[in-house]
Structure 1
Amino acid sequence: MDAHEEPPGPLTVAAAQAEAVPGDVTGNAGTAARLVATAAAGGARLLVLPELFLPAYHPPTLRADPAGTDVAAGPDGRVDDPRLAALPRAAAEHGVVAVLGAAVRWPDGRRTCSVLVADPSGAIRVGYDKQHLCGPDENELFMPGDRGATLSLDGWLLGLGVCYDGCFPEHGRAAAAGGTHGYLCPSGYVEGSQHRRDLYYAARALDNTMYVVFANPVGGTDPWRFNGGAAVYDPEGRPVRRAADTGEEVVLATLRPELLRSVRAEHPMLTDRLPHQGGPRAVITV
């Protein structure tokens, strides 16, 4: 489809929050498969799960056991790991695309904090490598990605980001400038960050008049105790659905092309944006 073409029809999506067990890739893949079934029961075609959900976002475990927490990607980004078998099986059975976080080891030795895409064909591939690494743990453990990515599903173009990526307006704007209608953000926000969690992704939605689907873990122990709040935001930044701060939950919402069209007509920031934001800066001395 053309990069700026309107989606042909509605798309029902789901954002999940759940507790992942550090280092238990097989068990966490099973949880993801169960949540795929829950999302499908609500009519969803797409499920977004949290950042690093397969190994769990737990730096001590990621540091101590890279072989046990990583999944290997081939040169083409395909992932074939028997520990994940329940996930592509669920995606195929229910016709749902699952987007979730993983620690990925590439053939050249790079380790990335990535988004995997499991689709109804039974394939799993790396969709995107996180570009903005957050804090000393992530910068020690991972290499940053060097390009954006867009998922195309049923005529909807959905930009991919991971947690800290969404704190940068430029990241969401780059996706929107490429013609996306939405932005998918597997994330890992800890207790105490609720204000920023609820502000960043609503802002990215309004900045770019696009839907945002935000997934976040729950549970864990300090300093990696997560605060849920999984949500879907509409193109004006309003939460269509938002989960509580605790407890496993799957929230569902339907993305509607007519709302996307009307908001973009009323708030044309994407077309009114100055390409160089006013050019060189003038300094006014007083």
Structure 2
Amino acid sequence: MTVRIATVQAEATPGDIAANLSSAATWIERAAERGADVVVFPEAFTTGYDESAFAGSLPSADDPAWLAPVQRAVDGTGVVAILNTALDRVDRRTLTDVIVVPREPPVMAYDKQHLYDSERAVFAAGEGGFSFVVNDLRLALSVCYDANFPEHAAAAAAAGADVYVNSGAYFPGGSHRRDVHYAARALDNGMYVVFSGLTGGSHDFIGGSAVFDPLGRRVTGVAAATPGDTPATSTPPEGLAIADLDAAVVAAAREHQRMWADRRDDLGVPRTIGTVASGASVDA
């Protein structure tokens, strides 16, 4: 079986939830025109990734009426949307992936587990992973900084994931780290990695939306900022990248690249003999 997935690269307007949801609906319709089964949005696309927006009124987990524009687009097209938002959960605030499914209640599915720097002052970290199945492929969710930790993607693969989906927002200067991390998570675990990145906005986000195959190769993407991407030279364009994800490709990669099958869960207790002095002489 295959899943046609669309990853969005777009700018969100900080604090303008209505405008951002209207934009999300338009992207869903564009993805549907290209035959997508699933569309992935960048981190905090609903609110914009912005400190003042995070401190203000946020969409509510208890009353999903705010999702109506996206729900209508999903119902009308049949596309499943993975929409990331800053979310008010009454007792805490989270950065959450919401799964919007045609003609079904939305699922407040996954809260970002690894909070980055200033996020810790505002948000609570999630407590567990989340995955779901589309066309026999299991998609696991992650948000931006989560992908910096190899064990996060490995836990998803151990739970049966074929695809590791990440919604992110990378600052200028982060392009090398971004691309290496997503390629490595794909190769390490023999699974697809789908990244959706913010562009522009108050922090000059650098985009980089792309799909990596289970061997870590970038198979499609939207134009992004160049390496050494200093702010204000040019904003990476908005766009949509489409890829067909194939369960057979995952199986073949895991058969050829044996790291997943051969890895050991228990590496024993590390041994040490303390300091070893070199015999080389050092001139004063």
CA distance in 2, matches of 1:281, 1:106: 42
* Aligned match for 2:238, one of 248, 251, 256: 248
Please state how far the C-alpha of 1:41 moved relative to its aligned partner: 1.0
In structure 1, the partner of 2:263 is 273
**TM-superposition CA deviations, 1:92-118 (whole Å, max 9, x none):** 1111011021111124x1111111111
In structure 2, the partner of 1:283 is 272
- Check whether the contact 2:254–2:261 (CA below 8 A) recurs between aligned residues: no
Does residue 229 (structure 1) correspond to residue 229 (structure 2)? The answer is no
Q: How many residues align?
A: 264
Please state how far the C-alpha of 1:61 moved relative to its aligned partner: 2.5
Give the TM-score of the pair, scaled to structure 1: 0.90
- Check whether the contact 1:26–1:84 (CA below 8 A) recurs between aligned residues: no
**TM-superposition CA deviations, 1:58-78 (whole Å, max 9, x none):** 112222x1x2xx11113xxxx
Q: What amino acid is aligned across from residue 52 of structure 1 in structure 2?
A: A
Query: Identity of counterpart residues, as a percentage?
Result: 39
In structure 2, the partner of 1:36 is 28
Please state how far the C-alpha of 1:122 moved relative to its aligned partner: 4.8
- Check whether the contact 1:129–1:144 (CA below 8 A) recurs between aligned residues: yes
Structure 1: which 5+ residue stretches go unaligned?
A: 1-8
CA distance in 2, matches of 1:232, 1:170: 20
* Aligned match for 1:90, one of 73, 88, 96: 73
1:123-134 equivalence runs, <5 A:
123-134=105-116
* Aligned match for 1:113, one of 95, 104, 120: 95
Does residue 80 (structure 1) correspond to residue 73 (structure 2)? The answer is no
In structure 1, the partner of 2:129 is 148
- Check whether the contact 1:91–1:122 (CA below 8 A) recurs between aligned residues: no
CA distance in 1, matches of 2:75, 2:258: 39
Give the TM-score of the pair, scaled to structure 2: 0.90
Structure 2: which 5+ residue stretches go unaligned?
A: 225-235, 277-284
CA distance in 2, matches of 1:131, 1:138: 11
SS in 2 for 1:120: coil
**TM-superposition CA deviations, 1:32-87 (whole Å, max 9, x none):** 11000111111110000001100000112222x1x2xx11113xxxx522x33110
- Check whether the contact 1:89–1:122 (CA below 8 A) recurs between aligned residues: no
- Check whether the contact 1:12–1:255 (CA below 8 A) recurs between aligned residues: yes
- Check whether the contact 1:49–1:215 (CA below 8 A) recurs between aligned residues: yes
In structure 2, the partner of 1:195 is 176
Q: What amino acid is aligned across from residue 72 of structure 1 in structure 2?
A: S
CA distance in 2, matches of 1:217, 1:87: 18
Please state how far the C-alpha of 1:10 moved relative to its aligned partner: 1.0
CA distance in 1, matches of 2:17, 2:61: 15
